[in-house]
Structure formats: structure tokens, C-alpha cells
Amino acid sequence: MLRKLSLAVLLPLCMLTLYLVLVIGEYLFESDQVRAELAQRQSTLIKQQLFRMQNVVQSAQALQDVERIEQEVSLAALDMGTMVYILVDADSRIRFANHTVWRDSNAMQVIDGYDATRDRAVVQAFLPQILVNLERLTIQAYYPVLPQYGGAVDLIYLEADLAPLVAEASAKLQQRFMRVWGLGGLLLIGFTFILYFLLIRPFQILSEAAKQVGTSSFSTSIPWSSSEVLSLQASLQQVHERLSRAVKQLNDSELRWLFAVEGSRNGIWDWDISTGEVFLSDRWKEMIGYAPDELAGVFQTWEARLHPDDRDIVLDALQEYVSGKSKEFESVHRLRHREGHYVWVLDRGMLVDWDPQGRPTRMIGIHMDVSESAKNHAAINELVDQSVTGRKMLPDVFMARLSQFLTQGNSSGQWGSLLLVEVDRLGLVATLNSHELERLLTQVAARLSSYFTENITVGRLESGDFVLLAKDLAIDASVAARRALALASELRQVIARPFHYGHHHFELSANVGICLLDSIETLDPALVMRRAELATLSAKRPGQAGCAFYHAEMDLRQSRDEQLQQELQTALQQDSMTLMFQPVMNAHSELVSAEVLTRWYRTDGEFIPPAEFVALAEQGGMIAELDFWVANRVCQFIQTSHAQGWSLPTLTLNISAFSFGQADFVDALIALVKEHGIAPHQLGIELNEAALLMQPQFVAERVSKLVDAGIGIVLDHFGSGSSALSCLANQPLVAVKLDMSCIDSLAAMPQRVKALIVSAQQFNLHVVAKGVESPQHYQAFVEFGCDGYQGYLFSRALNQADFIQLVCPRPLLRSV
């Protein structure tokens, strides 16, 4: 009830109630105070009178002047309005009194308020007592007298009435409060009227105006009021203006959205998960041959039209997304057309609403026709229709368009570009079978073809990579290059969005090579493709961020790279490469392990840096062969050392992520270890994060085999900027090696280095500092708590003979 009261009623009522409570409280307080003051004043007067009477009685008794005592008693009783005034002896017998009938009677029998016990206590202590009883409005006084002879008076007892005085004072108090109440009431009424016009009425006006915010009838007219109310009025006016603009923008956005949906020719669906109702747009129905007024708006309408081969996969992907197991729902599947054939669509949806318990209640998505796309009709048909075992080549329609663009040019004189997209499929081959891999690449192609504009043609190569022809980028070459680079970055972001296939979730990465195309220059399509391939190889190199342009020096570099790859293959076959050993020491300068390094000198003596020949091995597909060659040589060295009686520390090999991703590399490595009889923990491998962040099932299987074989795993380049704690938490590592960049961070950001070390030690992992070349480096890493140290301060990389001498000093060798 109170919640519905108007402020105009509630506020005055509260003020009146508060005023009455304050006034009544003040009156009661002052009334009690008046009574207390009257009692105190009368007590003082009585005490003075009794003190005088005490002296009179004592002197009169000494002279035996009874008449004087009687006169004094009579006068005292009359002056103070006393109710009872008596003088008693030791037996409580009344000797003198203001009432003659009481004389010679026992005080206890004739006087109600008299207390013989208190009488004796006062006489014995010879201390007077004056008692105030505010309930009876009386004062009782016991005043002792020194008796002069037996039977003489020894106590004066007095009982006075306060009622007349209290009544008189209360009357005066009431009169005063009536005047105060009346004046206060008038002021309260006046204040209430002022409050009503200054506050309540403006609030009523604003309340009514608030109901009309955003409408044409909104109006606030407050001629004058407090600054706060006027500020609220201005704020409400601003809200009205913003809401009006927002409503207009919302209407405009709705119109634009409708235009965008119709313009994109994509189907829209809106699924109420709790009821099963589904809104299907006209375009959605048109895709599968139905009119706008056909098809029921229920979930079964979509479910029943799924291709039998796609049904389980699509429904599983949808269920995983709705249940929160996957981050997004995206699927390429087939829907049955009204005429009986199937249409390929890219279906993408997103949850937009949840109930209070956190359960999803609404999902909105789009359908895109990727089999009948106007811009890539033939290319996508070629992509989708080809079987796993069938022919895979660049679609003829794409080659025709590329050749036409290169030979005929562009009448507008604008530059174009060819972008070769190489999807990183490391680990996919081991996780998916050939059919599943093909379906995944089909999803990639569908996403690309549905994402880009009519100005871009998408095709797919025999190797499974994708190629895009972008036309009409710009007339100026530098502008065209910037737009091509932006397109390449966008390509990598589109591919990086998670893919879901069955129970697998993939986060792919890609490298993009860019070849700019001048409309004036006539080039052979095969040459353009070759240039794009060279740019893609360059995009894989560190510092390229996955994108690179073709330039003429790549041809020269490619010639040298091809020659070096041939020589590297020969060096592996002839065992002409060299192994080096980099010692790892502990804080006591004791050798605990060694990292095996590979060095390559060409026949002419030129030294090829490891980073260069490893990159060449990866590009030429020889990296697994190189890593296995190193492992074989190290196993032979361990076996020979054991036969000679030399006790070697743990030797660790650098294994490329590409080798680790090969289907049979780990099995072959374990077989090699068993063949040479290598003891557990005698051999270890060093992997970077890329190898450990591939598909979990794929990594777990290989890591488990290595651990079972006694091969320890070390995470290399920890702290390079991309290391994730998931590698430390989820993998059975034995140690981590800090990245060389930590040396530079010692001076600039020592707290970063310390945080890396502490994070690894939280998982009970040994931490090895690399690149320790000065005592200052060593001291800093010691303070941070590193367990091992590797660098030129302790030893350079040693050849086999020098390493044996370090492990087994020469006197021991002579004895052997």
C-alpha cells in the first residue's frame, strides 16, 4: 500500500509524523525535568527548615520550653504546606504534631508513610534522610535531634505534598508548548507548500514526461525549481534526444540490415532452442526451392533435409557448440532441394541468449550457397565433386581466368595480385584419414569462397593449397601492394578461425605468398604460379609474419637454394656432416648433459649456418631424414662410448616439428634406440612449442611412446614470445631451455626472465639458461634459480674428440 502512495502525500505525512514525535518527546522530557527540579528545590528548602527546627527543639528541650516547640511546629507546617509534621521520641511516640489528635499516639499506627526502621537508622547514624517519591508526588524527611532527657524528642518527621507545585508547573509548560506547537505547525505547513512547489510538483511533471520519452508528445515545462530538479530536467531532455536519435538509427540500421541481407543473398535462420521454433527467411527457403509461405518454422524442417552422409556430423557439431564444448558452429553440408537434388551450403551460427541458469535459449545464423556461387561456380563445383582418389589439379576455370587476366590485361590499368595460400597441415595427416582431411579442406575452400567479393576468384591446387586471383586492386603499384598485403592478412585470419569436424577441433595457420600483377606486362601463368610459390617459401621464414611478396632476388636465391638442397642430400648420403656437443653445466660447474649440434661445411670449405640448411631441409622435405641421420650417429656414438667404458651424460637432439609430425618418425626413432641398446634417459630430444601445440590426440600418442622408451623431452626456446603454460602443464617434460632472447632481457626486463623461470619451476621442471657468455649473465641466472647453464662462459661447442676428453680426462683414457 505504501509503495503506491504519492510523494505529495508521503513526504508531508513523514514530516508531520517526525514533527509530532519530536514535540511529544520534548514535552515528556521537559515534564520530567520540571518535576525533578521542583523536588530538588523543595528538598533544599525542607532541609534548611529542619536544620533550624533541630536547633530550636534542642534548645527548647534543654530549657523544657514545650510551648516554643509547639509554636514552631505549627508555624513550620503552615509555611511549607506540609501534610505531616511530627516530632517523635525513641519509642516512636508522637510528642508534637501539626495534628493534635496524633499527640502521644504511636507514629507507626497513625501515619502511613512513617517507617520506624528508617527512624532508628537515622537516629543512630545521626544523618538526616530526605526521600522524594515522584509517583506519589511527596517528600519524606527524617531529621535527627539530640535528646536532652529520657522520653525527649529524638527525630523530626516531615511529609510534604508536591502535587500543587507540579500541577502549576505542568500548566505553565502546557501553555508554552501549545504556543510552540502552533507556531511550528504553521511553519511546517508553509514549508510543505514550498516543498510541494519546488520539489514534489516538478517531480510529478518529470514523472509524467518520462512516460513520453522518445515520443513526439514529450514535453517538460518547469518554470522554476531547485538546481537539482532543473539539472534532472536537462538530463531527461538529453535522454529524450538521444533516445530519439537511437530509435532513428535503429530504424535506419534495420532497413540497412534488411537491404544487406537481401543484397548478400544469404539465408537467415533464428532458432528458439527451448520451443524448437525456427524462423526461416525467404532467401533460406529459396535456396532449396521453396516459396516464402511454404515450410513449417520448426527445427525438423532443417534436420529432415540434411544429407544422410552429413547428418550425424552436422548434428554432433551443433550439439558440441550448444553445450559449450566448441567455440563456434560452422559446417559445410548438403540440404535436399525441392526437386530432389542436394545443395551445398555453408552454415554458420551463434548463440545470442541464455536463461538465468546459463542454458542457451536462442541461436541465430546464416546459410550461404557455396555450390552455386556466381563468382566461383565452376571452381567450387570442381572442388566439391572431386573424390578423394580422383584427379586433383588447378580448376580449368581458374587457369582460364588467370590466363585471360595476364594476356588481355585490364583496360582500366589497375594492378592485380595472385595469392598462394599454403595451409599448415602439420599433424592433420596423422589425425584424420584421407576422406576426413578432404572434407576439412572442403570447409576451408567453402569459407574462402563465401567470404571474399566478386573481384576475387578462388581455386585449389593439386597439393591441397589454395590460390586467389585479386583483380582491380589499384592503379598505383604501392597502393595495390598495401591492399594485397591487407588481403593476405585477412586470409590468414579467416583460416585461423577454428574448424570443427566430428569430434576434432582444428586451429589452422597459413602462409601466403603474394605476386603483384601488372596489367601491362604479359606473363605466362606457370611463371606467375612459380613466383607465388617462391614468395610462399619466403613467408615461412622468421620475421615475415606469414606473408611475403615476390621480388626478383628470389629467383637467384632459389637457384642457390636448389643447389644447396642437392648438396645437402649428398652430404647426408656420404655422412660428411659433423656433430658438435654443447655442454650443459650445473651451478657447481659439473657436466650434466650436452646438446648435440650439426655443422655443415661444403666441399669448397664454405660454412652453411644451421638455420639456413635446416630451413632448406624443411623446404626440400629432407628435415626428417636429417634429424634421423643425427639420431643414428648419436646412437652409434653412445654405443661406442659404452663399449669403451666412457660414461656419457644425457645427450639431447634437436627434432624439428616437421619431423615430429611425420607419421612414422617417432616409431623409427624408438626402434633405433632399441637397436643400439641405449639405456633409458641416456638420450633426450628438444622440441619447440609448435610441435607440442598440434592436435592433442596426435601429440599425446607420440609423447607417450617417447616417455615409455625412456627418452626425455625438453621444451626449447622457452620465453621466445609464444610459449604457453599449457605445454608445461599438459606434457611430461623433464626440462625447459630459455630462449636466447632472455639474455637481452636480463638488462631491459629482468622481471620477465624471473617470471619465466618461476613459472617453469612451479611444474617441477629444470630450467637451463642458454647463451651464458659472461660472469654477469651467470650471476643473474644463479640468483633467479636456474638449474643448468649453457654457453661460451663454460665451453664452446666441442667436436667428438674434445667432448670425450671433457667427459673422460686423458689419464683415464690412458688407463683404458
More confident residue, 265 or 50: 50
pLDDT tens per residue across span 360-408: 889 988 887 765 433 333 433 443 343 333 333 355 667 777 777 777 6
pLDDT at 329 over 60: yes
Cβ-based neighbour number of residue 9 at 10 Å:
10
Average pLDDT on 747-771 reads 88
**Predicted local distance difference test score (pLDDT) of residue 427:** 60
Position 100 confidence tier, pLDDT thresholds 50, 70, 90: low
Query: Please, where are the H alpha helices in 80-112?
Result: 107-110
**Predicted local distance difference test score (pLDDT) of residue 293:** 85
Position 168 confidence tier, pLDDT thresholds 50, 70, 90: confident
**Predicted local distance difference test score (pLDDT) of residue 672:** 93
CATH T-level topology, domain 377-551: Alpha-Beta Plaits (3.30.70)
| Residue 348 to residues 270, 332, 456, 466, Cα–Cα distance (Å) | 12, 9, 22, 22
**Cα gap 40→139, rounded to integer Å:** 10
| Residue 310 to residues 63, 290, 334, 342, 390, Cα–Cα distance (Å) | 137, 22, 7, 11, 21
- Enumerate the domain spans of the chain: 7-169, 265-369, 377-551, 563-815
Position 70 confidence tier, pLDDT thresholds 50, 70, 90: confident
Average pLDDT on 596-619 reads 84
Q: 7-169 and 265-369: same fold?
A: yes
Q: Is 450 exposed, middle or buried (0-12, 13-18, 19+ CB in 10 A)?
A: buried
Give phi and psi for 295, each to the nearest 5. Answer: 75, 125
pLDDT tens per residue across span 111-142: 888 888 888 999 898 899 988 887 778 888 99
Please, are residues 307 and 335 in contact by the beta-carbon 8 Å criterion?
yes
Q: How far is CA 759 from the centre of its chain?
A: 21
More confident residue, 425 or 800: 800
Which grid cell is 236?
A: 531527461
Please, are residues 534 and 515 in contact by the beta-carbon 8 Å criterion?
no
**10: nearest Cα among 236, 211, 203, 212:** 203
Position 409 confidence tier, pLDDT thresholds 50, 70, 90: low
Q: 3-class SS at 142?
A: strand
Give phi and psi for 425, each to the nearest 5. Answer: -105, 20
Segment 54-62 long-range contacts (CB within 8 Å, at least 24 positions apart): 54/143, 54/144, 54/145, 54/156, 57/87, 57/145, 57/153, 57/156, 58/145, 58/146, 58/148, 61/145, 61/147, 61/148, 61/149, 61/152, 61/153, 62/148
**Predicted local distance difference test score (pLDDT) of residue 5:** 64
Weakest-pLDDT range from 206-215, 709-718, 728-737: 206-215
CATH class of 7-169: alpha beta
Q: How many Cα neighbours within 13 Å face the side chain of 775?
A: 0
**Cα gap 618→608, rounded to integer Å:** 15
**651: nearest Cα among 617, 624, 685, 619:** 685
Weakest-pLDDT range from 75-89, 342-356, 695-709: 75-89
- Cβ neighbors of 290 (< 8 A, separation 6 or more) are 338
| Residue 642 to residues 58, 103, 677, 682, 683, Cα–Cα distance (Å) | 133, 137, 10, 11, 13
Please, are residues 240 and 220 in contact by the beta-carbon 8 Å criterion?
no
Q: How far is CA 424 from the centre of its chain?
A: 31
**Predicted local distance difference test score (pLDDT) of residue 558:** 60
Position 683 confidence tier, pLDDT thresholds 50, 70, 90: very high
- Taking domain 265-369, whether its CATH number is 3.30.450.20 is answered by yes
Cβ-based neighbour number of residue 123 at 10 Å:
19
Most confident of 21-30, 497-506, 584-593: 584-593
**Predicted local distance difference test score (pLDDT) of residue 430:** 58
**Predicted local distance difference test score (pLDDT) of residue 461:** 75
Weakest-pLDDT range from 220-234, 319-333, 645-659, 763-777: 220-234
Residue appearing with cell numbers 571452381: 379
More confident residue, 524 or 226: 524
The secondary structure of 526-593 as a DSSP string is HHHHHHHHHHHHHHTSTTSTTEEE--THHHHHHHHHHHHHHHHHHHHHTT--EEEEEEEE-TTS-EEE
**Predicted local distance difference test score (pLDDT) of residue 438:** 74
Mean pLDDT of the chain: 80
Give phi and psi for 686, each to the nearest 5. Answer: -110, 125
**Predicted local distance difference test score (pLDDT) of residue 685:** 94
pLDDT at 772 over 80: yes
**598: nearest Cα among 543, 542, 653, 553:** 653
Q: 3-class SS at 105?
A: coil
Weakest-pLDDT range from 361-375, 673-687, 758-772: 361-375
What crossing angle do the helices spanning 227-264 and 201-210 adopt, rounded to 10°? 0
**Predicted local distance difference test score (pLDDT) of residue 739:** 87
- The pTM for the full model equals 0.47
pLDDT tens per residue across span 13-60: 887 888 888 888 888 888 888 888 888 888 888 888 888 888 888 888
**Predicted local distance difference test score (pLDDT) of residue 816:** 36
**Predicted local distance difference test score (pLDDT) of residue 230:** 74
Which CATH architecture fits 563-815?
Alpha-Beta Barrel (3.20)
Q: How far is CA 624 from the centre of its chain?
A: 42
Weakest-pLDDT range from 165-169, 300-304, 436-440, 630-634: 436-440
Position 265 confidence tier, pLDDT thresholds 50, 70, 90: low
